[in-house]
Amino acid sequence: MTLDIVTIPCLSDNYAYLLHDAASGDTAVVDVPEAAPILRVLQEKGWRLGTILLTHHHPDHVQGVDELRAATNAQVIGAAADRHRLPALDAAVSEGDAVRVGGEEGRVIDVSGHTVGHVAFHFPQTAALFSADSLMACGCGRLFEGTPAMMWESLSKLMSLPPETRVYSGHEYTTGNIAFALTIEPENGMLKSRQTEVAALRARMQPTVPSTLSEELATNPFLRPGEAGIRRKLGFGSDAEDAEVFAEIRHRKDAF
Ligand SMILES: [Zn+2]
């Protein structure tokens, strides 16, 4: 049995995700940009929310928590490292801890970089990763708090997950991310096809998430600092550290 996942667009470009275990009826949500769209889907589906999982403290990921908690009585789980700046937590978790949705156990992965204390949730049976503003579709989150080396270490952990893992990230930024990626790798054929697929999805107003980790490994420049072509383009030799090349790609994206 795997979890059913429902993508819920919130605010202008955020996503919340419902995770539902049909056997037990248990339901969780990852991030709460606003309560109303989440409550609407819970009602349509007839699901009862048991758990709210938080990835990081930014308002566009947590500002609906109090309203959603009041309406559902759900337990709120977030990073111990971020406890002081998250809504009140019922449980605080760190790297390696388990979070349960019905019969499936998810793992907490520390993915600091965008913020220090940002966590991702990996559900291996369902092959789903909720990465919010760490690994994003064809991109990664801006480094508001962490260093490039820290974000590179976080992304490296995610890169070692099974390639079929679906990546549910926090925002609909894919069109812009691909436009930037093409400045780094203009000749990447898979990236060019991804641009066509994403344009077709957006023309129909459909989400471009989830992607798969294998797709990210092949097209996301932030996961590809080891590629010889990228290194040549950016003026790095084969002796450069991946983290240095990553830092340069992130720097160019900030200026893009
Ligand atoms: Zn954020």
One-letter amino acid identity for 213? L
Mean pLDDT value across residues 128-148: 97
Ligand 1 midpoint to CA 227 (Å): 28
CB 20 within 8 A of CB 26: yes
The predicted structure's pLDDT at residue 155: 98
Sequence ranges of the binding site: 56, 58, 60-61, 114, 133, 171
pTM exceeds 0.85:
yes
The predicted structure's pLDDT at residue 161: 98
Indicate whether 233 and 161 sit together in one domain. no
Ligand 1 midpoint to CA 164 (Å): 25
Indicate whether 156 and 32 sit together in one domain. yes
Sequence ranges of the binding site for Zn(2+): 56, 58, 60-61, 114, 133, 171
228 exposure class (CB count in 10 Å sphere: 0-12, 13-18, 19+): exposed
Between the CA of residue 168 and those of 111, 188, 207, 234, 249, what are the distances in Å? 14, 23, 11, 29, 22
Ligand 1 midpoint to CA 22 (Å): 30
Ligand 1 midpoint to CA 61 (Å): 7
Q: Residues in the chain, how many?
A: 256
Ligand 1 midpoint to CA 157 (Å): 19
Ligand 1 midpoint to CA 189 (Å): 30
Mean pLDDT value across residues 140-161: 97
The predicted structure's pLDDT at residue 1: 80
Indicate whether 157 and 212 sit together in one domain. no
Check which CATH number belongs to the domain holding 79 and give it: 3.60.15.10
Indicate whether 132 and 177 sit together in one domain. no
Instruction: Return d(Cα 103, Cα 57) in angstroms, integer.
Output: 28
pLDDT tens digits for 165-186? 999 999 999 999 999 999 999 9
pLDDT tens digits for 33-73? 999 999 999 999 999 999 999 999 999 999 999 999 999 99
**Strands 119-123 and 91-93: what pairing?**
unpaired
Name every residue whose Cβ is closer than 8 Å to that of residue 135 and which is 6 or more positions away in sequence: 111, 120, 129, 155, 158, 167, 169, 216, 220, 222, 223
Indicate whether 155 and 177 sit together in one domain. no
Indicate whether 39 and 108 sit together in one domain. yes
pLDDT tens digits for 9-42? 999 999 999 999 999 999 999 999 999 999 999 9
Q: Torsions phi, psi of 62, nearest 5? A: -130, -5
Ligand 1 midpoint to CA 79 (Å): 14
Ligand 1 midpoint to CA 211 (Å): 19
pLDDT tens digits for 239-255? 999 999 999 999 999 99
Closest CA to 85 of 53, 105, 56, 114: 56
**Total count of domains within the chain:** 2
Mean pLDDT value across residues 136-162: 97
Domain boundary among 140, 169, 198: 169
Q: Structural domain of residue 210, as residue ranges?
A: 173-255
Indicate whether 154 and 190 sit together in one domain. no
| Mean pLDDT, the chain, whole residue set | 97
Q: Torsions phi, psi of 83, nearest 5? A: -55, -40
